[in-house]
Amino acid sequence: MEVLDLRPRGYCHGVAKALHIVKKVIEDDTYPRPIHILGLIVHNKKITEAFRHYGVVSLDDPTKTRLELLDFIESGTVIMTAHGVSDLVIDKATQKGLTVVNATCKDVTKVHDAIKKHLVLGYEVAYIGHKNHPEPEGILGIDPNITFLCTKMDAMNFKLHDPNKKLFVTNQTTLSRYDINIVLDVLKIKYPDLLFDDDICDATTLRQKAVIEQQPVDLCIVVGDTLSSNSNKLAFVSKHERNINSYRIEGLEDINPAWFKDVKRISVTSGASTPTKLTNEIIDYLKSFDYNDESTWQVKSKLTHLDILS
């Protein structure tokens, strides 16, 4: 079975920066203990578990906001995740006397800054994103008048609060072009003079481009966490834009050898929060896989916590 290693894949600069920051805090005894992460530093459970092994507590509850999660931290250091938070969260953490470490991705910060700028200029702001994702939560905390749009129906129902104002539209950095256009196309019909700032990050764009432009294959494997928006979008793009049978998996344990019956060529990519060694382990497994030899079917990972974080 031929295995194509799609590039680019794996960590984007924002994830690499966030992980470096957490490692630095762990190694530096001058940061007060305990160490908490407000949410998941990146959307990968294996990374969260690896940091837990080193004493870092990740507070994650989908029913609570970042502001509410702060109520569970009384002392020590709190790290803000790569997905960004509003100024309200930073202010509350500071008022509680916590040492605040901000690991927000610079691409997310760019969106925050653009929205603040256009609010000052008198625009109404609409933001395209996914429900139950921390990046929109941080954005919506900037101003209560920002309108959150998730679906085509949301766009159809949208009306300016003040018809005399201009409309500024931007988006969650990890969306696919399809996700944005299905909403944006409706808005452009209703408000042809709207100002749109395309904020899909380069890492997301380039990984999706590699999937769209890949050579013909029988199957595509995307390595990424269930919660990873960009990983799920890679599988979606492969399946719906290239019509390739595609699976998103978190690790070797998710592989079903039956998938590979009669498969001659397979491609592998990974999301922006997927450890490189994890993807490499899967590629090595696939290269040695023989459907007619069940001794090659074993799918137990040999990676340690140190491997995941290296």
Give yes or no: residues 96 and 146 share one domain: no
Please compute the mean of the pLDDT values over residues 40-44 and round it to a whole number: 94
User: Which CATH number do you get for residue 122?
Assistant: 3.40.1010.20
The pLDDT confidence band at residue 212, using thresholds 50, 70 and 90, is very high
Under a CB-based contact definition with an 8 Å cutoff, are residues 158 and 147 in contact? yes
The pLDDT confidence band at residue 310, using thresholds 50, 70 and 90, is confident
Nearest by Cα to 145 from 123, 172, 171, 130: 123
Percent of the chain with pLDDT over 90: 95
User: Which CATH number do you get for residue 71?
Assistant: 3.40.50.11270
Question: SS3 for the chain, per residue?
Answer: CEEEECCCCCCCHHHHHHHHHHHHHHHCCCCCCCEEEECCCCCCHHHHHHHHHCCCEEECCCCCCHHHHHHHCCCCEEEECCCCCCHHHHHHHHHCCCEEEECCCHHHHHHHHHHHHHHHCCCEEEEECCCCCHHHHHHHCCCCCCEEECCHHHHHHCCCCCCCCCEEEEECCCCCHHHHHHHHHHHHHHCCCCEECCCCCHHHHHHHHHHHCCCCCCEEEEECCCCCHHHHHHHHHHHHHCCCCEEEECCHHHCCHHHHCCCCEEEEEECCCCCHHHHHHHHHHHHHCCCCCHHHCCCCCCCCHHHHHC
| Domain boundary, last residue among 77, 105, 133 | 105
Give yes or no: residues 86 and 111 share one domain: no
Give yes or no: residues 96 and 42 share one domain: yes
Give yes or no: residues 241 and 280 share one domain: yes
Residue 77: both structure tokens together: 């250091």
Count of domains in the chain? Answer: 3
Domain extent, residue 40, equals 13-105
- pTM score: 0.92
| Domain boundary, last residue among 174, 196, 218 | 196
Give yes or no: residues 231 and 254 share one domain: yes
Amino acid at 89: V
Interval 43-64: pLDDT, tens: 999 999 999 999 999 999 989 9
Give yes or no: residues 56 and 130 share one domain: no
- Partners of 2 in the β-ladder: 265
Give yes or no: residues 233 and 253 share one domain: yes
Please compute the mean of the pLDDT values over residues 228-250 and round it to a whole number: 96
Give yes or no: residues 191 and 114 share one domain: yes
Q: Would the pLDDT of 258 be above 90? A: yes
* d(C-alpha 142, C-alpha 159), whole Å: 20
| Domain boundary, last residue among 173, 196, 219 | 196
Please compute the mean of the pLDDT values over residues 267-293 and round it to a whole number: 97
Give yes or no: residues 95 and 41 share one domain: yes
- Whether residue 137 lies in the annotated active site: no
Give yes or no: residues 265 and 172 share one domain: no
Please compute the mean of the pLDDT values over residues 293-307 and round it to a whole number: 93
- Catalytic position from the list 2, 27, 124, 135: 135
Interval 117-143: pLDDT, tens: 999 999 999 999 999 899 999 999 999
Give yes or no: residues 221 and 300 share one domain: yes
Give yes or no: residues 210 and 305 share one domain: yes
